[in-house]
Structure 1
Amino acid sequence: MDRKEMVDYEAGRVSALSAPATPGTPTPLFSGQARVDSSLSYDRKSMSMQRCKCLPVDAPSFGSPPMCFTDFPTPDVSLTRKLGAEFVGTFILIFAATAAPIVNQKYNGAETLIGNAASAGLAVMIVILSTGHISGAHLNPSLTIAFAALRHFPWIQVPAYIAAQVSASVCASFALKVVFHPFLAGGVTIPSVSDGQAFALEFLITFNLLFVVTAVATDTRAVGELAGIAVGATVMVNILVAGPSSGASMNPVRTLGPAIAAGHYKSVWIYMVAPTLGALTGAAVYTLVKIQGEEGENPRPVRSFRR
């Protein structure tokens, strides 16, 4: 019997030395065995490599992994595409929501309040359904800030999103100025009540909007497929309630763009501050009352807004 045995592998030739067999000792079936790692050890290695290596912020319960500052899913869409979709979506929303009151003014009430509400609500719905899977379809700086504050959206992308939203609002407003001059003033949100009443209305209706948006966007038990319909319907209801009083902006860029194009800045601070505070409060309240993972049924996948 030879002292050396040669074992051929597909990747090459591997030689292994074996000691001479002792009389009475059975010969091994494989004298040159290579070490094969088990699936269990592979899983352990992969689990150790996936541990969080960033600064921990909190741990909800004992034994659960900590939440990190960088604990956001890896984006599957580039920021440039997100900003492009956010710009186009905001442009469509501001164009539709501002054009309806302008047409109403130009043609002596042809649109009516219901028409104004339907125009804005339907615009929100179609934009969410068409661009929600790309950018999340925020369309609203107050929503972007609220989601970032509650850690549903990375802060690092907030300035870029707000810049896209503001620029889209200004572009849409100047496009309307060219088309409907000199009736652009009809699309400016100016309160017909006192500043305090207008502030309260804008706060409350934005609270309602972000309560619904947070439900369909962050709660996996909500019917995410109907997010566009739910948010669009909420916008319509809010305009029917507050449209004649405060203009039912719910969105700083809904007021800012037309104000810049028309040169009307009366009480513009209300529409910058009240929607942002209402958005933060509405999103926070839903987060507090949301059913936790162990309390309800099996969750569904998260749909949109959180891009």
Structure 2
Amino acid sequence: MANNSATNEKHEVVLNLNSEDCKKFDDSDIQVAVPLLQKLVAEVVGSYFLIFAGCCSVVVNINNDKVVTLPGISIVWGLTVMVLAYTLGHISGAHFNPAVTLAHASTKRFPLKEVPAYIVAQVLGSTLASGTLRLIFSGKNDHFVGTLPAGSDLQAFVVEFIITFYLMFVISGVATDNRAIGELAGLAVGSTVLLNVMFAGPITGASMNPARSLGPAIVHNEYKGIWIYLVSPTLGAVAGTWAYNFIRYTNKPVREITKSASFLKGCEVE
């Protein structure tokens, strides 16, 4: 009798969990407590390797007769974002970008009090990476690896806004919505960065990241058009996350939603 009672109780708990998972479960409800210092170290390290790898591909391309090419540079940026997202995403969220941090905070998916520390960590990582590249590639091989508008400031502003909107829209879809397949988040975000760099790189440098532009600017003391790369990506990221936030809420049952989207988790509702 005691055994049956225990078994029934156990089954009841399991059924309740499954019900919650299908109807009301939100991935933001489950949080692993990671000390802020560990998060900041992860952001510094992640930002460092992101900027080092991406900007290094630019320098190598310039110094070696365009051997890397634009597609090659795009692939480097995309792959770097992808591997770092899978490596550090579970620790700090793998932002590496002040615009992403501010966008998440604007929708209350990130603590507002941690925003300043995250931004400092991201800019620090970018600056250290830019300094490392300048030490390695000195003399005639020392090239500015920051971002500069190829055309007008208005053109650069609009392009940066659009590509950052696109990036943040994808991030919001695959990384913040529990209906999406979370395991594909790094691949989706990395692919988006690759695509953006492919067509926007020759126009603006495809920053999408204030830290990516600010780090090299500090090291090389080159601030031409820097305001564009600080303001436009931030506005684009906030607009992108709010646009997705607007369409993510629905009264449709999960069964109906999953019929028309392949990137949603299968969750059967009885």
So what's the TM-score if we normalise by structure 2? 0.82
Matched, 1:115 2:62: no
> Cα gap change, 1:127/1:272 in structure 2, threshold over 3 Å: closer, same or farther?
same
Map residues 266-281 of structure 1 onto 2, 5 A cutoff: 266-281=224-239
Q: 1:250 aligns with which of 208, 216, 219?
A: 208
Q: How far 1:187 sits from its partner (Å)? A: 1.4
Q: How far 1:108 sits from its partner (Å)? A: 1.5
Q: 2:171 aligns with which of 213, 216, 236?
A: 213
Matched, 1:195 2:153: yes
Give 1 or 2 for the bigger CA radius of gyration: 1
Q: 1:153 aligns with which of 99, 110, 114?
A: 110
Q: How far 1:228 sits from its partner (Å)? A: 0.6
Which residue does the alignment assign to 2:245? 287
> What fraction of aligned residue pairs are identical, expressed as a percent?
47
- Could you report, residue by residue, the CA deviation over 1:206-249 in whole angstroms, capped at 9, with x for unpaired residues? 00000000011111111110111000000000001100011000
**Contact 1:202 1:248 (C-alpha < 8 Å) held by counterparts:** yes
> Residue type of the partner of 1:191?
P
**Contact 2:144 2:216 (C-alpha < 8 Å) held by counterparts:** no
Relative to total residues, which structure has the larger helix share, 1 or 2?
A: 2
Q: How far 1:263 sits from its partner (Å)? A: 1.7
**Contact 2:213 2:226 (C-alpha < 8 Å) held by counterparts:** yes
Which residue does the alignment assign to 1:97? 54
**Contact 2:79 2:190 (C-alpha < 8 Å) held by counterparts:** yes
Q: How far 1:290 sits from its partner (Å)? A: 1.3
Q: How far 1:294 sits from its partner (Å)? A: 4.7
So what's the TM-score if we normalise by structure 1? 0.72
**What is the count of residue pairs matched by the alignment?**
233
**Contact 1:184 1:262 (C-alpha < 8 Å) held by counterparts:** no
> Cα gap change, 1:285/1:184 in structure 2, threshold over 3 Å: closer, same or farther?
farther
* Structure possessing the higher relative contact order (Cα contacts under 8 Å, 6 or more residues apart): 2
Q: 1:234 aligns with which of 192, 195, 220?
A: 192
- In 1, the alpha carbon distance for the partners of 2:65 and 2:137 equals 14
Q: How far 1:262 sits from its partner (Å)? A: 1.4
Give the SS at the match of 1:185: coil
> Cα gap change, 1:125/1:113 in structure 2, threshold over 3 Å: closer, same or farther?
same
| C-alpha RMSD of matched pairs (Å) | 2.0
4+ long deviations beyond 2 Å = 71-75, 182-186, 291-300
> Residue type of the partner of 2:63?
K
- In 1, the alpha carbon distance for the partners of 2:217 and 2:65 equals 22
Give the SS at the match of 2:143: helix
Q: How far 1:186 sits from its partner (Å)? A: 4.2
